Structure formats: C-alpha cells, structure tokens
Amino acid sequence: MALFLYGTATHTGKGFFTREDRLNFFLRGHPGNVWVVGNNEKGALWLAEKNGVEKTKAEAQAIVTAEVEAAKAAWDALSDEDKAAHPGRPTDITLP
Amino acid sequence: MTTYPQINGLRVKYLSADPANPETGQVWYNSTTGALRVDGIQGTGTWAAGGTMNQARDQFAGAGTKDDMIAVGGVNSGDKNNSEVYNGSAWTAVTVFPSTVKKSGSTGDTTSAANFCGGDPGAKTSTQHWNGSGWTAGGNLSQGRANFQGSGPHTAGIALCGQGSPTNTNCEKYNGSSWTSAGSIPTAAGIFGSICAGTSAAAIGAGGYYDLRPGGSEAQTALTFSYDGSSWSNVNSMNTVRYQAMGGGTQGSAYVAGYASGPTATTSEQWDGTSWTAGAAMAISRNTGASAAATGANATVAGGNNASGTIIATSEEYTTPVGTQSITTS
C-alpha cells in the first residue's frame, strides 16, 4: 500500500487541519493547494471532508512543479534590489 | 529516605476521583483507579491551522501571544501599512500603521500594548505604540534597524541587532518610553534575520545571517546568544542554520520554526533554557512570516512565503497541551 495520498484542497483557515488531524496522520501542504496525506483511514477521510480532489502522485507533482517553475520565472524577473529583499530563488520540490 | 511530605510540606491526598481543577504540580492518589496522579505534565506539541489573515504578506512583524496577536506592515506588491489582530480564531483589520513598513521589529505581549520599531525602507529608528485601538509615537531607537526581531512586554522589550550601516552587533532595550543600550552580541560582525525571545532582563537570540561584509560575505548561522540583563554570551547553537525564521517565547522556553538551510522549511526546534531539540513540523513550509508566543509551548505563525515563494495569508498555531497523568515506574 502506498504511504501517501495526494490531492488538492482549498485551505479554509482555522480548523482546516486540527491538532487531532496532525496526531492521526502525516500532512504536508505544498504550492498549488496540493496536500500530501498519510494513507490511512483518517487521512483519507480528512481529504474527503475537505472536498479534496484526489490526484496521482505524478499529477500532484506536476501541479507543484508548475507552481515552482512559475515562481522561479517571477523571481528571475525581479530587480537585483528586489531579489536581495527575498530569501532566495525557489527550488524544486519533490513530493515524497 | 526523603518522603513527599518532606519535599512538598503536604501529604499526598487520597481521593476517590481526580479533582476538578487541579493545580500545576499537584499530586494525589486516585483510590478508584489505584493510580498516583500529577497535574501539569506537558503533552506533545503540534501545529494546526489557524485563521487566515485578511492581507497576505511577508517581511512583517507580529507581537502578542498565540491567541492575542497583532501583525503590522510587510510586503505584497509593495510595502504595506495594514494592521490586523488575531483572537485565536479570526483576524480583524484594525487602524493602519502610520506609514508603510517592512522588516520592522516588535515588542509587546498583548494586543492592548505593543510597540513596532525600526524597519525598512531606510533602517528606521522610530517606534510606534499600539494601545488596542490606535497608534502613537514612542521613543526612537538609537540605531537604525531593519530585518530584526524584538521581544518582551511593552515596558520591558528588547531589540536584537538587525541591518543598519553596517549590520548591528548591538542591541537595545525599551522601557515603554525610551530605548537604551542592551550591549552587543559576542561576534565580530552583526547579525540580521534572527529570532528573539524573552525580555530586557533575560533574553535569547538565535540564527539569522552573520554579516561579514565588507571583506567577507553573509552566512546563515545557527548561533544562539543569551542575555542576562547586562551582557550577551554564547550558548548552545540551534541544530540547523535558520534565517528569517519565526520564533519567540522566553529565555527559558522558546521555539523557532521554518526556513532552515533551504528557502523554506516545515521544521521547528524547541529551546529549554539550555539546548535546542527538534520540535513538531508545521504542515506548510514558510519563512519571513511573523510570530507571537508567550513561551515556546504555544505560538502562532502567520503569513510569509511558502515553498514556491508565494506570499501567503494562512497561519498555524502551535499548541502544547498540559494535563493530568499517572505516575508510573519504568
């Protein structure tokens, strides 16, 4: 069985993921509203309750990569002064 | 053999049920369950979703505590003067800061009395007091500072280093009306982008960029410094170098989260007054956000940049439950 579920869901603020959720399953948010969720019953239920759209790992990775590439392009277009004000050029993200 | 009454001055109460409102450190025997019980044991800290700010922003400052926070200024398509307060559930826009500002410092342990000082553009020296409804001018920093953190209550705050000309090694403390010297960190060069926790009488600073220019370069650092009210000394470093992370608390209980050696990170560390240990991971990577925390056990982080560099408005709350547990042998 795969270790993780992948999906997109819109962050709705307070209560979107709770202390109990964090104790019950792995959860990481990524650019593009992509969520990597521990593949257990509670993790799957969380994604469903958040009106999440389940994705394959490849689909989720493609969304994240597109976001990062767009962010890189935006960063490259910054002036040197603006670049200095930001922490650094976005780097590639590989989903687990 | 030392007995509990000798240590505590009281005998262990023999109760048929756990008391309704035990005090931290209280010990009793539950005759129903046959367990020796104690209250005040810290559980596992975790990060959960907090309210979403009305204005997504990075490079801004926050003051207060986990459920009573104010956020000011920052950047999102230009410098901002927006101010918002958080009540533990939702953010509400309040009177805007008197000017646009980014990378400012802050002190104040409540949203009814906080100070925001320094910041860019121009490594400002000015301070503005927040009284819960409006802004008034406070005392000026003696050094221009930007990209730094402050900590402590309204009348006992401290500001750690920060960018100036050159980057500051010196620090300042605030009594609610004027800033005075709080000594210098024991390094050859200044640091900016660090976290700061504690008060003008007892504080720590950690991480940031160690600025060796001119003649050298900038380097992210894990260095940690402790302040005893008169001077700074080196103490145990963080386990990971961190720059523009979020952090806060006290000299004896602090936390730092985000921005490790990559552009963003979910990782956090906890400071117990002696050393840093790995803490729970946030759900979303972020840096250059703002934080409010009374101790390292309970905190809110808000805004900042996510892993793709997008400026975000979401927040996360770190909560460490305190409860009753049975005393067992192992």
- Contact in structure between B289 and B309 (CB atoms under 8 Å): no
Q: Is A71 on the interface with B (CB under 8 A)?
A: yes
Rg (C-alpha) for chain B, rounded Å, is 21
Task: List the 22-61 stretch of A: residues with Cβ below 8 A of B.
Answer: 22-23, 27-32
Interface size A-B, in CB pairs within 8 Å, comes to 83
Instruction: Mark whether B61 and B22 lie in a shared domain.
Output: no
Count of the separate structural domains present in chain B? 2
Percent of chain A with pLDDT over 90: 81
Within a domain: A90: no
Residue B327 lies in a domain: no
Residue A16 lies in a domain: yes
A92 occurs within a structural domain: no
Cβ–Cβ contact A89 with B under 8 A: yes
**What mean pLDDT is predicted for residues B313-324?**
94
- From the list B49, B263, B285, the residue facing A17 with the nearest CB is B49
Helix or strand holding residue A44 (H, E):
helix A41-49
Domain assignment of residue A57, yes or no: yes
pLDDT at res. B11: 81
Q: Do A70 and B308 touch (CB under 8 A)?
A: yes
Query: Do B33 and B52 fall within a single domain?
Result: no
Residue to mutate among B47, B55, B308, B319, with most A CBs inside 10 A, is: B308
Number of domains chain A contains? 1
CATH number, domain of B215, equals 2.120.10.80
Identify whether residues B26 and B94 lie together within a single domain. no
d(CA A68, nearest CA chain B) in Å: 5
Verify that B72 and B101 share a domain, yes or no: yes
Q: Would residue A26 count as lying in a domain? A: yes
pLDDT of residue A17: 98
Domain that holds residue B24: 4-42
Is B257 in the same domain as B153? yes
Q: Is A40 exposed, middle or buried (0-12, 13-18, 19+ CB in 10 A)?
A: middle
Give the pLDDT mean for B18-32.
89
**Closest C-alpha to B309, from A12, A6, A33, A74:** A74
Given a cut of 70, whether residue B198 has pLDDT beyond it is yes
- Considering only CB atoms, which chain A residues are within 8 Å of B289? none
Chain B residue numbers touching A86 (CB-CB < 8 A): 305, 309
Measure in Å the smallest separation between the Cα of A1 and chain B Cα atoms: 23
**pLDDT tens-digit series, residues B28-74:** 899 999 999 998 888 889 999 999 999 999 999 999 999 999 999 99
Q: How confident is the model at residue B4 (pLDDT cuts 50, 70, 90)?
A: low
Among B44, B90, B308, beta carbon nearest to A14: B90
User: Residue A19, SS3?
Assistant: helix
Whether residue B306 sits in one domain with residue B182: yes
Least confident of B18-27, B62-71, B224-233, B235-244: B18-27
Residue A28 in domain: yes
Q: Assess if residue B326 is contained within a domain.
A: no
Q: Is B258 inside a domain boundary?
A: yes
Q: Are residues B17 and B144 in the same domain?
A: no
Q: Is residue A23 part of a domain?
A: yes
CB distance A67–B49 less than 8 Å?
no
Give pTM, 2 decimals: 0.91
- Asked whether B163 and B148 are in contact (CB, 8 A), the reply is yes
Give residue A82's pLDDT band: very low, low, confident or very high (50, 70, 90): confident
pLDDT digits (tens, 9 = 90+) for B98-122: 999 999 999 999 988 999 999 999 9
Taking residues B271-282, what's their average pLDDT?
97
Do B24 and B81 fall within a single domain? no
State the complex-level ipTM.
Answer: 0.91
**Number of neighbours of residue A94 by Cβ within 10 angstroms:** 7
Based on the domain organization, do B92 and B16 belong to the same domain? no
Whether B263 is in a domain gets the answer yes
